[in-house]
């Protein structure tokens, strides 16, 4: 005859396992909710900028237009209608194809619900800077205006080899420039 406490052991193990799984699931949910950029698109101004860039790379016109305030959407939608849906999607993807990297720098808060960022696009032979204003609407940040792009030629173009990684023993140019041994 089993001990009375042992008859409840399988049920206690199942309860402990269930509670452990619930705690793990709650932890994963909290971590995903609180991770930077882990919320919905536009949870932060940077998220809104990144969502716009991601939608553009994918050619997702609907998601792209959803990154802008109602004040900007009519102008963008008119461009989409003028180009046609297919050409607009191509245009979005083509605009991001030469981009090697993107940097965002906060330039200040005009009001608690309005911020300015400078977005710098690193291209192979030039950099493009653009001021972007974002407005908080409800729980989301949306792009409210985009300034004129300013181009600058970097002192060292993207992808320029900085070091000669050829081993000195096989580097003929280095051998030719060495003074003769004493």
pLDDT in tens, 134-151: 999 998 999 999 999 888
Stretch 154-170: mean pLDDT, rounded?
A: 71
> Is residue 39 pLDDT above 50, yes or no?
no
Position 21 scores a pLDDT of 52
Helix runs in the chain, H state only: 4-7, 9-34, 45-58, 61-65, 73-83, 85-96, 172-177
Domain ranges of the chain: 45-152
Phi, psi of 175 (to 5 degrees): -65, -40
Task: Name the percent of the chain in helix, strand, coil, to the closest 5.
Answer: 45, 25, 30
Stretch 40-57: mean pLDDT, rounded?
A: 88
Pairing of strands 127-137, 150-152: antiparallel
Stretch 20-37: mean pLDDT, rounded?
A: 47
Q: Considering the entire predicted model, what is its pTM?
A: 0.64
Q: Which of 158, 135, 153 lies closest to 145 in space, CA to CA? A: 135
d(CA 146, CA 166): 45
Stretch 24-28: mean pLDDT, rounded?
A: 52
d(CA 130, CA 127): 10
d(CA 89, CA 138): 28
Would you state the CATH architecture of domain 45-152?
Roll (3.10)
Q: How confident is the model at residue 11 (pLDDT cuts 50, 70, 90)?
A: low
8 A C-beta contact, residue 48 and residue 145: no
Stretch 154-178: mean pLDDT, rounded?
A: 67
Measured at the alpha carbon of residue 108, what is the angle toward residues 104 and 113, in degrees to the nearest 5? Answer: 100
Kindly report the number of other CB atoms within 10 A of residue 64's CB atom. 22
d(CA 19, CA 22): 5
pLDDT tens sequence across 108-130: 887 888 999 999 988 888 889 99
Which residues, in sequence order, are CB contacts of 102 under 8 Å at separation 6+? Answer: 53, 119, 120, 121, 122
8 A C-beta contact, residue 146 and residue 56: no
């Amino acid at each position: 005859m089993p001990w009375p406490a042992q008859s409840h052991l399988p049920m206690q193990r199942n309860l402990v396992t269930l509670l452990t799984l619930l705690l793990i699931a709650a932890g994963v949910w909290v971590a995903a909710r609180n991770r930077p950029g882990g919320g919905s698109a536009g949870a932060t101004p940077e998220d809104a900028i990144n969502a716009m860039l991601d939608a553009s790379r994918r050619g997702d016109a609907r998601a792209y237009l959803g990154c802008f305030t109602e004040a900007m959407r009519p102008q963008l939608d008119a461009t989409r209608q003028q180009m046609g849906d297919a050409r607009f999607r191509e245009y979005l993807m083509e605009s991001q194809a030469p981009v090697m990297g993107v940097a965002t720098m906060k330039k200040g808060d005009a009001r608690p619900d309005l911020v300015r960022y400078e977005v710098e696009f690193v291209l192979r032979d030039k950099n493009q800077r653009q001021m972007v204003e974002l407005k908080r609407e409800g729980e989301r940040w949306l792009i409210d205006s985009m300034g004129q792009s300013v181009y600058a030629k970097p002192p060292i173009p993207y992808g320029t080899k900085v070091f000669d990684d050829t081993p000195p023993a096989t580097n003929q140019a280095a051998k030719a420039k060495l003074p003769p041994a004493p």
